[in-house]
Amino acid sequence: MKKHKKDKVLYFIFHSFSLSCFALAFLILLSLIIISQVYGSKIKNGEILAYGLIWSMLALLILFVIMHIIAIPFALNYYRYRFFELGDELLTWFNIFFILTSIIALPRWREQYELQQKNELKNLAKKSKNDKNDEQ
C-alpha cells in the first residue's frame, strides 16, 4: 500500500475514534444533566451515578485528546500529499479539526510549493537553453 493511502486510512481511523469519544462524552454530559433535572431528588445514592458518569466523561475526553494527537502526524502526511501532489489548497477539514497545526503548516507548505515551482521553471529554462545550444 502506498504511504499516502496508509496515512489516509490511519488518519481517518484515529480521527473517527477521536470524534466518537468526544460525541460520547457530550452524550454522557447531556444524560447527566437530564437525569439530574428529571430524577434528581428521586434517585437514592445519586452521587455514585453522577461521579461514575463524570469520571467516564473525563476518561472519554482524555481519550479524545490522545487520539487527536495521534492523528496529527497522519493528517499532516495525508494533507501534505493532497496539497503538493493533488493541488488541493482548500483543505477545509484540515483547517477545521487541526486549527493550530494548519496555522503553522500551511504557510510553510505554500512557501515550499512556490519554491518548488520556481525550481521547476529554472530547470525548464536551463533545459530549453541547453537544447538551443545543442541545436546550434
Hey, is 81 helix, strand or coil? helix
The per-residue pLDDT for range 26-49, each reduced to its tens digit, is 999 898 888 888 876 777 777 777
Rounded CA-CA distance 72/5 in Å is 15
Rounded CA-CA distance 93/12 in Å is 11
Rounded CA-CA distance 115/109 in Å is 10
Q: Which residues of 6-19 are buried (b: 16+ CB within 10 A; e: fewer)?
A: ebbebbeebbebbe
Confidence (pLDDT) at 25:
92
The per-residue pLDDT for range 71-118, each reduced to its tens digit, is 888 888 887 777 777 777 666 666 667 766 767 777 887 888 888 888
- pTM as predicted: 0.67
Q: What angle do CA 92, 95, 99 make, to 5 degrees?
A: 165
Number of compact structural domains in the chain: 1
Residue pair 51/90 in contact (Cβ under 8 Å)? The answer is no
Domain containing 103 equals: 3-135
Hey, is 45 helix, strand or coil? coil
Closest by CA position to 64, among listed 97, 32, 31, 106 = 97
Phi, then psi, of 88 in degrees rounded to 5: -85, 110
The per-residue pLDDT for range 114-134, each reduced to its tens digit, is 888 888 888 887 877 777 766
